[in-house]
Amino acid sequence: MRLIIAEKPSLARAIADALPGPVAREEGSLRVGDTQVSWCLGHLLEQATPDAYDPRYKQWRLDHLPIVPERWMLTPRHNARGQIKVLRSLLKQADSVIHAGDPDREGQLLVQEVIDYLGWRGPIARLLISDLNRPAVQRALERVEDNQAYQTLYHAAEARSRADWLYGINLSRAWTLTGRQAGHDGVFSVGRVQTPVLGLVARRDREIADFVPRPFHVLWADFQVEHGKVRAWWQPDDSQPLDDQGRLLKREPADELASRLPGAIGNVTALDAQKKRQAAPLPYSLSALQVDAARRYKLSAKTVLDTCQALYERHRLITYPRSDCRYLPQGHLAEARRTLEGACHGDDQLAGWLGGADFSLRSKAWNDKQVGAHHALAPTGARPDFSRLSATEANVFRLVVRNVLAQFYPHLEAREVKADFAVLDERFRAQGREILVPGWKPLFTTRDEAPPLPPLRQGEAARVVGHAVENKQTRAPEPFTDASLIKAMMNIARYVEDDAVKRTLRDTDGLGTEATRAGTIETLLDRGFIVRQSSALRATRTGQALIAALPEAATRPERTALWEQRLRAIAEGTDQAAPFLDALLGDLRTLLASADAGRMRQALSSAKGFEAPTRPKARKAGRSGTKGFSTKRRATKRTRSKHKEEA
């Protein structure tokens, strides 16, 4: 008997439907001829709690730390024992096993760890599926590989799991216990991703709270030229009182110049006109989609993730969504017209966009060299039934289709003009943009562009026909939203202060992964460290206190971003898990040595932040072992679906 183990039931059903022959339902599996297709429910196993290694760890004590297992153990998750029993029975009957986890690091781990846990010692094949429609699954079944080729991916995921356990268990116990000494009755959970993300929010909130607005002033003048009117802004030189961004800090110089402007004659002294071509935005990665959907539809990152999962699993309209890639395989190009015609069926907006597509064009999106374990989100070509889609599902689906359709539109071409005017020995500047070829732009916005400058000639006369001095104020930074926080997590190098680390981090190295960023935000909300105020994400007093009490290194993104680099190197076979974990233990001991009740007491007394919503009182740490707090979340419906990587 051949046994195929999928990551979840929806994938198992898709595989069974793609096999030849009738499908028979059995307990915990589907039978098609001599093939049994069974499944996990996300992670069936989790890292054992500390007291599984030693009963004395049931009580939380500082002198126990750091807790470091000599031999790692896994235990079944809550409500997973039934499916583990099914898989154990099927493995005993199997002649061959196929691993059909999702095509990513965690998908590799969660199926393989179950196979290993249940004692299978035979060879394992690997089935990679990113599109649940029958033809795509059938093609994947014809390309089954040796699972041995994916062992470095497994080692990276296993190292990630163990590192998160070490980091979360030890630091959470340390700072919860020092919090108790300082009078705080609750759990301070610390994680290698969630805590730096909380640090981003807390520091931004402090910047907003500490911000003192400063007035500045602008002077504009309207110039009458041969072919129309141009508004230009005064460019004061360094002899004027300017801030570091060139803004005028005192109004008097502007008023003095303004008093001499009426009717003054000047001329165009410099003219710079450039024609620019801009390619369409690439197809979406999950995080890029979360950013755009949050901005356009005010959707939370978790809502976008859940919607994508529904479009992938239930409706089978899009490809595998948890992708960090924005490119598509070159082989998909030949099928693009058929795929997009199917995706656009039944929707006037999509059909209109399809009508403008030119399938003779080829964008840079089709690039095998840029495609790794996943490719960008794309429609599968299945015809959507919009009556069965929620409004959110329909909106997110249109975004995914739109960004692929845009690859078959011409470049946006525009003429950008900068013009300098000299009058009364002072310089004024105007800028304008004229759209020459709209290309893909109408798919993304219906807003009118600012009017272009009228035709200008260098040296032509310009007479002042209007002017004004305006008082303005510097503005505080905006609080984070789902969109801006996801974007910050994607581009974390911007928030890194160490120049050497900043140079080391590639643009693709972020905080967390595509699969975990939405869950990290939800974790911080659930644990009362941040709150949502309309679309803004703000740190609570508890969140601010934790960031103030921790060593700065634990609250900043450098360490975890470099962790991700090491994990990627392990996945690519250029690094090993053991040195990575050894380095982590060295860092962990240094961090634990800085746990200090006095610093915690000061942080709690001085913390300012937003009030978290009232929640059930947390169980006191240490009274019942780690059941009061665990770095692993309980196996709720959400975690079973796929909140797999710990924050």
Helix (H) or strand (E) holding 564: helix 558-571
CA atoms within 13 A on the CB side of 265: 3
Residue 598 CB contacts under 8 Å (≥ 6 apart), including other chains:
182
Q: Compute the chain's Rg from CA coordinates.
A: 29
Place of tokens 């909300």: 525
Count of CB atoms situated within 10 Å of the CB of 239: 7
- The burial of 210, by beta-carbon neighbours within 10 Å (0-12 exposed, 13-18 middle, 19 or more buried), is given as exposed
Helices (H) and strands (E) in the chain, counts: 22, 18
Distance CA 7, CA 297 (A): 31
Alpha helices in 476-557 (DSSP H): 482-490, 499-504, 517-526, 541-549, 552-555
CA atoms within 13 A on the CB side of 546: 34
From 312, 320, 327, 495, active-site residue: 320
CA dihedral 202, 207, 210, 215 (to 10 degrees): -160
Helix (H) or strand (E) holding 359: none
Q: What are the structure tokens assigned to 590, written together? A: 């240094």
Q: How far apart, in Å, are the Cα atoms of 519 and each of 299, 303, 486, 513, 516?
A: 14, 10, 11, 10, 5
- Could you confirm whether 320 is annotated as catalytic? yes
Distance CA 450, CA 486 (A): 30
| Residues acting as catalytic residues | 320
